[in-house]
Homo-oligomer: A and B are copies of this chain.
Amino acid sequence: MKIIMNAWYVAAWPHEVASGAILSRTVCNLPMVFFRDGDGQPAALEDRCPHRQMPLSLGIPEKDHTIRCAYHGMQFDGTGRCVEIPGQDHIPDGARVPTYPCVERHGYVWVWPGATDRADPALIPDIFERNDHPEWSAVGGTIHLRANYAMLADNLIDTTHETYVHAGSLGDDNIQANPIQVTGDDQHVHVTRWILDHDAAPLWREALNQDGNVDRWQLIEFRPPASTVLDVGVAPAGTGAQEGHRSHGAEGCNLNFGTPETEHTTWYFWSFARRFRRDEPGYDEVLQRKFADVFAQDSGAIEGAYSVMRRNPGRPVVNLRNDAGTIRARRLVEAMAEAEEAGTRPAADHG
């Protein structure tokens, strides 16, 4: 899938861009350097000194929240402006580093690799708010995925894979038998699956922390190009979860962003927010480890499939009933890519 430039992407966790730290990361084929400017806001510059093309990410973080190039000492602030050239007073016009719009929101650092004048922070998906919300506790991590970013949403939208990929944690034989409902518009795909009155999968049994059959929900929202949020959980069977009474159950939210590094590699930022067992000492660490395992399993499957796909470009596949959501999501991304290529205002801008 082609990379879409005019969109907000998760670029980093805030702690990766701590004060005095310099982060190098490539987003949408663009090498970027991230640091905090004088106001404590994250800044994203091209990772290239305009003098002799040294990566600025190898530079020296100065106390005034600028970066000094490690080669011949040119110094730049968070707006890309050169504030000092060793050995001369005159700052030539070319002594400037391109920047990318960059904001911190919902516990992520976001960057907009495309046309700067379209970078409205209001377009950042609000559904990510549960990553940094007083009523939720979140764990999360980053995976460097050797696959095109579109493979990640394929994985997340069709939860049939849980039975096979996550046997022993999230998976059990009750999932695939329950059909999905797919709805949406030109900006969203919603996939809903309910698994009623069954023995809970091991990880959910532990989350709920009580015996007895459960009702399990998987309410998925995909937004192009690369965000997938899963409202998931279990409640004791027949206690009204399907009608909306869920707060007595184990409520979770799995937030996923697949930021293209290149066409063939993806920075996968996952988090899992919860409203169960929030105050229990050590439980964050337990869940961090368990979900890191889960998403590593997904990554293995995605990379395996992608390696085959790359040697079979354009070769047809057989679609199954449970692919209805992923097919619809792919179409939205394709439409966005086509609109961007045609130079028309991409759909995401309509917000």
Which of B52, B58, B95 is A154 in contact with, Cβ under 8 Å? B52
CA distance A309 to B143 in the complex (A): 28
Q: Which listed segment binds B: A9-17, A202-210, A315-323? A: A315-323
Given known A-B contacts A164-B73, A301-B54, A87 and B320 have beta carbons under 8 A apart: yes
Which of B70, B318, B322 is A165 in contact with, Cβ under 8 Å? B70
Is the beta-carbon distance between A71 and B305 smaller than 8 angstroms? Answer: yes
Q: Which listed segment binds B: A43-51, A109-117, A118-126, A284-292? A: A43-51
Interface residue count on the A side (C-beta < 8 Å): 51
Is the beta-carbon distance between B87 and A177 smaller than 8 angstroms? Answer: yes
Is the beta-carbon distance between B92 and A305 smaller than 8 angstroms? Answer: no
Is the beta-carbon distance between B47 and A308 smaller than 8 angstroms? Answer: yes
Most chain B beta carbons < 10 A, residue from A47, A50, A317 = A317
Whether a CB of chain B sits under 8 angstroms from the CB of A55 is yes
CA distance A193 to B312 in the complex (A): 48
Is the beta-carbon distance between A85 and B307 smaller than 8 angstroms? Answer: no
Is the beta-carbon distance between B179 and A312 smaller than 8 angstroms? Answer: no
Whether a CB of chain B sits under 8 angstroms from the CB of A160 is yes
Is the beta-carbon distance between A86 and B53 smaller than 8 angstroms? Answer: no
CA distance A307 to B87 in the complex (A): 26
CA distance A72 to B160 in the complex (A): 6
Q: Which residues from chain B contact A86 at a C-beta distance below 8 Å?
A: 160, 163, 176-177
Is the beta-carbon distance between B94 and A316 smaller than 8 angstroms? Answer: yes
CA distance A51 to B309 in the complex (A): 11
Given known A-B contacts A31-B308, A58-B304, A163 and B73 have beta carbons under 8 A apart: yes
Q: Shortest Cβ distance from A24 into chain B, in angstroms?
A: 11
A–B pairs, 16, beta carbons within 8 Å = A48-B308, A53-B305, A54-B304, A54-B308, A69-B164, A70-B165, A71-B161, A72-B176, A73-B160, A73-B176, A85-B320, A86-B163, A87-B160, A92-B318, A92-B320, A95-B318
Most chain B beta carbons < 10 A, residue from A92, A307, A315, A320 = A320
Q: Shortest Cβ distance from A162 into chain B, in angstroms?
A: 10
Whether a CB of chain B sits under 8 angstroms from the CB of A68 is yes
For A50, the closest partner residue in chain B by CB is B318
Whether a CB of chain B sits under 8 angstroms from the CB of A158 is yes
For A73, the closest partner residue in chain B by CB is B164
Whether a CB of chain B sits under 8 angstroms from the CB of A88 is yes
